[in-house]
Every structure is written in C-alpha cells, then in structure tokens.
Structure 1
Amino acid sequence: MAQPDEPQPAVVPSCPLPSKICDVVRSERPRSCCGMAMAGFRTAKYQLPEWHRRNTGVCYEAFTAGEQAERGRAQAKRLVKHAAASAQRAQQYSKATLGQRLQDTHFWRMELQKEIMELDAETKLLAAQKLRLERALDATEVPYAVVVDNLECRERRQPPDLVIDEVERQLLKEADLIRDIRDLLKRTIIQATTQIRSNRIQKENCELDWSDKVETYHIDDKCVGYCTDSTNVQFHPSSVKFEENASTPKSWAQFSHDNISRAEQEKLASAQLRSLINSIIHDASEELRMQRAASDEAFGIRCRELHDAKVRLEQHLQQVLKDIGEEEANIVNLKDAIRDKEAHLNVAHSRLYDRSLRPNVELCRDEPQFRLVSEVEELTVFLEALKRKLTESEQNLKNLEETRMKLEKEIAVKANSIFIDKQKCMSYRVRYPVDLKVASYKQ
C-alpha cells in the first residue's frame, strides 16, 4: 500500500495487449499481388495489426517499468528510513550495553584493585611477622650458647660434686626447650615463606586480571565514544565473528570472582598465620622465661647448699686443726712422761742391781728391797700404759691428719664448684635475653 505522501501512479487506458511485444507472425506474409516485381518490398514489412500490437506492448512495458520503479523508490525510501531508525536503535542499544559492560568492568576492576591492595598490605604484615620469627630465632642463639656453656663448665666439677643435681636437670630441660623452640620457629618461618609466596602468586593473578580489566575498560570506553561522525572508524569485515577461546559473561564474571575468592582465602590464611606467629612467639617467650627462672633458682639453691657445705667443712677443719695441735702436744707430753718414767725405772733398776751385790747375809729381803721391786713393777705398768696411749695418740694424730687433708680437699672441691656455678655459670647467664618477644622487635 502506498504512503499518503507518495504520488499516485498514472492511470493508463486499458487496451488489448499481446502476449509478447514482438510477437510478429512472420509466417503470415502479405500475399503478393504484383508478382515477382514487388518481392523485395514485401519481405521486410509487417502487418498493421502487428504494428499496433507492438506499439501497445511498448507502451505497456514503459508503464510497467515506471510503476515498478515507483514502487521500488517507495520501498527504497521506506527501507532507508527503517534502516536508519534500526541502525540508530542498534547503535544506541550497543552503546547502552557497552556502558553497562563498562560499569561491570569498572566494578570488577575496583574489586580486584581493592583485593590487590589488601593482599599486598597483608603480605607486608606477614613479612614483618616472618622477620620477627627470624629475629626471635637469632635471639635463641645466645640462650642456647649460655646453656651449653653452663653444661660444659659444670662438667669440670670435681668428684664428688660431679653429680646430676637439680641444676643439671633444669639446664638439660632448658636446652631441650630451646631446641624445640628453634625447631618450631624454623618450621613456622618455612610456613610463612610458603604463605608469602602464595600471597604474591595470587596477587600477581589478580594484577593480571586487573590489568586485563583496565585494558578492556579503555577499549570499551573507546568503543562507546565511536559514532558515525568519528574519523577513526573503519570497515573490518573479518572481526564479525566469535573467537573460539572467547569467554561467556558468566565465565568472565566467575573468573574474577574466583580470583577474588582465592585472594580472600589467602588473606584469611595469612591473618591466621600471623595470629599463630604472635601466639608462638608469646608462648615461647613465656616458657623460656619460666625455664630460665627455674634454672636460676636451682643455681641459687645449689650455690647456697655448696656455700653451707663449705662453711661446715671449714668449721670442721678448724676443729681438726685444733685437735691436731692438741694431739701433738699430748704426744709430746706422753713422750716426756715415758722418758721421765724410764729414768725413774732406771734408777730403781740400778738400786736393785747394786743391792744385789750385797755380801753374804747382808743380801736381805728387807723393806727397801720390797719397795724397790714394787716401784719397778709400778713403773713398768705405767710405762706400758703410757706407750699404749702414745701409740693410740699417734694413730689419732694420723687420723686427724688424714681428716684434715680430706677436709681441705673437700673444701677445695666445694670452692671449685661454687666458682663454676656462681662465677662461670651465673655471671654468664646475665647475657641471657630478658624477653624473646621483645627481642623479636629489635633491629
């Protein structure tokens, strides 16, 4: 149906039309009435009906061509208008979808950028915690060296002080504790290193995704700015196709969602590891502090025990030295007494001998004779008793001398043990770090 503003086609009067314009019946030639003389004029001519039919056919063909051309123009005009409106609508719709796509890309780009910044900050915090672990591990070297030195120094104690006492048990326990702490710190450092590597890998994945989003945003933003008046638009027929490796909107969004989800998981694992590191350093510091206090207390108790034992030994030594002096004086007195009694015995023996030389009847058993015999017997008994006492005193003196040497040796041993525990060990333990937790922050 023609549009109202379009011109109506002209009305052509109806006339009988031949089926073909040039439908000339050449078989019905006009009969020659003039004989052979007119043959050349008759062969090239048509009949009058044929001429009318042909003229009518030409007119109809012209009318039909004009009408068809007019319909084509009307259709072309309608097509141009429809194509223009459709192209405008399609361009606006494409621009709107590109705008929506820009918003989606901007959203994921900002989410990725946020995750990258948070993951980078978390990685820095974890790296700081790892540095604390390394410093704490370095700080355990001094306590371990102190404990090993204490154990080696106490190996130089002399018997009988070379005993497995409470100090040695506490030092061995302390050495085992420090080794366990060092092993735990080393394992945690490895775990932190692995987590930092995972954080950086995931950060790199997010950065690659973010970089693609930025590039895509610029491309789509450039596409939004294209219009028919743009000078940089070209005809690219080869781009009208879908790439085989192209993603779908669902897989596109899922890819960024998965990257962000993995980044969140790494951040959570990193935060949990940082909390674990804090707990490890705090607990290790407390355990080491308590064990150090126990070892110091054992050292104090042992030093007091050694000092008390040394004082008691010194007191006994003083008493033994006094006893030795008295025993030596006693021996001297005994020897003097023996010499004195031997002199008296010699006098008595001499008297008896001389009186045995009395002649004849003068050799009488008189009272002096009995008295001298009694005196000899009495002196002999005293001499034997004095000699026995002298032998006993000499043995006692020998025992006292042995006791003195033992006491002096024991005192020397105790002095050596006190020197090792108090001067060598306890003075060296002053270098012990006060707090492993504080040491982990020191530069």
Structure 2
Amino acid sequence: MPNNPDMYNCPFICPSTGAKALAETYLQAGDTRANENPFASPYKPGMIQPPEPKIHPPDAPPLYLPQPTDSTSGDMLGMGPIGPWAPGHVDWTPQAGMTGVRPVVDKYSITHYSTGEWRKNNLHMLTPRATDKAKALDASIKGDLKKAFDAMDNKQNETNTKLKSRVKELARWKKLVENTVRAITKETKALEADRSKLKSACRILMLPEAISRECLELRTNRYEPDLVRDDAEQELIKEVAIVGEIRRVFQNTLAKVETQLEYNKAAKASIESDWSDKMSTLKLDGKNLNMGPDSTLILHHPGVARWPENATTLEYWEHYCAESIRNCDEVRQKSEHLRNDLMTAIIKGSQDMKTQADRTNAALAETVTATEQLCAKLEENLKDNLQTIADVENLIDYLGDSLRQVNQRDKLSSTRLLNRNYNRPNVENCRDQAQYALMGEAKFIKETADSLTGKMREAEAVRAELMKYRGELEREIACKRKSLNIDQDRLSRVRAHMPTPEEFANA
C-alpha cells in the first residue's frame, strides 16, 4: 500500500483532512490555473474566433449520410461559458462537457445522439429492404398464376363443351314446340272459320253488336282526362242494349265453340310461352357460348354462383316439355272433333240498328270536332312554351359561361393573395394598397359569384316550371290525339262495316 494516503484524493472535489493547506493565490481576470478543467474555463474577451469553412472531399457523400470524418464514440462537446446551454462554471468532472458521458442540459434542450449517429440512422432508413423476398414472391406468384389460368382455361373449355351440348338439345325441343305451335294455330284458325260459318246466318245482327262492343272497348283506351261519359258513349251503350234485345242465336252450340276457342287460345298461349322461354334460353346460352374473357359485356355479379330458388331438375324439365306438347295436342284433337258437330244459327235484324247507328255517328262527329279544336289550341300553347324554354336555356348557358369567367377571376385573385401572403419575406409581408385591393377584389368576386349562382337557381326553377307545364301540355295533347285516333280513325274504320237494313232483309 502506498505510504502517501492523499494521493487518491481529488484536490478539486474530495476534502482533504490530512493534506497541507494550499497557499491562496489570486489570478487576473481571464487567467486559469494550470490544473483547472479546460472545459469549464471562464470566458476571455477576444476568444471568439471567426467560423472556419468546412472542406469536404469531392467524392464525399451527401451531408445527410455518414462522413469519413465522423467519430464512432460520439461528438466531443465542451460546455464553455458561452453557448445555448451556458449555465456558468460547471466542474462536476473533468469530462463534464462530453456528449455521452453527461448530456448537455439546460432548460431549453437535451442532446440524445451525435451527428454521426444521425447520419448513420439516415443511411439505415434509405437502404432498401426485403428485395430478395420480393423477387421470390414475384417468381412464386407468376408460377401460381400460370397454373391458375391453365386450370381456368380447362374449366372454361369443359363448360363450353357442355353449353354446346345444351344448345343442341334446346334447339331440338324448340323445333318440336314450333311444330306444335303451328298445328294449334292452324286448328284455331280453322275453328274460327267454322264458327264464322255457324254465325253466317246471324252475322247481320252479330256484326253491329261486335262493332258496338269493340267501339266501347277502344274508347276505354283513352287517357284519363278524356274518359268521360259523353253522348257518343251513351249512344254506343244503347246500341249494345238494342242488339241484346233482338238477339236470337243458338246459344248451346255457339257456347261450346267459344269455350273450345278459349281452350285453344289458352293452349296456344301456353305452348307459345314455352316456345318463347326456349327461344330466350337458346339465345342466352348462345350468347354465353360466344362470350370470352375479352368480351365487353361481362361484369362482376356477386352472389350468382348458387342454385336459384326456382331452379328445376333436368328430369322435370324434360317431363314438362313433353307434357306441354301432349296437352296442346289433346286440345287440338278436341277442337277437331267439335268442328265436325258445328251448327248454324239464324237471328233476325232490326231497322232500329240503322237509326241508332246514325245517332251514334252524329255524337261521335260532334266529339271529334270539339277535340280537334282543343288539340289545336294546346299545340299553339306548347309552341309558345317551347320557345320560352329555349330562351331560358340560352340564359342559363350565358349564366354558366359568366360563372366560369368569374371562377377564373377568383382563381387569379386567390393565387395572387396566396403568393403575397406566404411568399413575401419578413417585413415585406405588409398590408399595402395592393393587398387591400386584392382583398376587395376577392370579396367582390365572391359576392358576384353568389349573385350569379342565385340567378342561376332562379333560372333553373323557372325552366323546371316551364318543363313541367310542357310535360302537362304534351300529355294533354297526347291524350287528345289518342282520343282523336280512337274516335275519328279506328272507330270510323270499324263502324264502316255497320250493316244496312237491306242486308238484314236479305239475310
């Protein structure tokens, strides 16, 4: 053990009980003792030196990346008497100002890392990662995609083969159904011809009834404002009543024929519906068969890969097709048997039919005249309305162009204000006359835009009202034209076949 125990004591920190008292000496201002902490030396006037330019090698990396001169043990920062952290004389240890030994701390900041560590972290963040994983993932995905597309191609080829088979089967059944439709259509026409023979004796009476009823039926196709019980309607109803009073027919046979015709029409409608379904399905499957991945009519339809609720089995479909044809053939055979038992009936005509027909024609002519006058007036109003709509739409277009011009001026004013507010440095960012002018211009442009927008809304509202009135006029004109078409055209063609009293007498 050394003989001198005071050699382990720090003369600046540890108290010395046994050491000799040092002689007190005084230094001049700015002088330091020889063994004082150099990092805690007091400030000397004139010690601040001009900045030394930093010289970087020509091939040096950017300043934010590690430099050859960076230290790996941290920056050596002394805590001098001046600096942003200057707290005065600090003599905790001889290394009191070293970064990494004791952080340089004051009430404003704390140093965590050195500049070299900051640059090293930048290099780490700029270095790309997971490149090998990306390459492996790319190769794996490409291989999986090739296998997946090959499997999908095989599945699509198999589906196309089955679709071709299904199309051939549908075409065969469609041909059978078409033959059945032609047969029932031919039988229905033949039954109607035999019914005409049955009614040949009474056609003079049945024809006015059919004409009157058809006229009433046609007049029910008028639109709602014209569905009025006018004089023409009253006279048509009287015609039907008169025909009913003088009806003399053989009801039993005719009823059977009518019933059979209904059966024929129902069977025809059923088989035609089946034929229509097969045509739609055949067209759809043909369309599906011609589709490919490059088709322009394909979309995503979520939830379609499931059996629909109304799907049937293939066996039931074949049974239904056969039963539909068999039922239609049975109805056709019954119609053929009934045509062999047809009878004719004779009824009498009446001179009142001609008188009533004249009254009905006069009422119809009066209604047509009034409707034509009203239609002409409505068309005149519609023409004026269309011109007004065109003028308002031109005004709206003009307002739209004006709003676009105001918008461009608003962009200009806003850009000027942005440039002056955020790009003028320091005291240059002042409220000069140009700034006031720009602010006033922006306010005026905003007010102008709001005013034009309000005008645009008013014009749009007026146009909407005009369009609504135009629609009402067009609907009313269509209603009147529909009524004229029924009363003047269709009813006149139908009533041209009204029999004369001589035809009744010669029946």
Normalised TM-score (structure 2): 0.35
Instruction: Compare the two structures and name the one with the higher helix fraction.
Output: 1
Higher relative contact order structure (alpha carbons within 8 Å, sequence separation ≥ 6): 1
Normalised TM-score (structure 1): 0.39
Between Structure 1 and Structure 2, whose CA radius of gyration is higher? 1
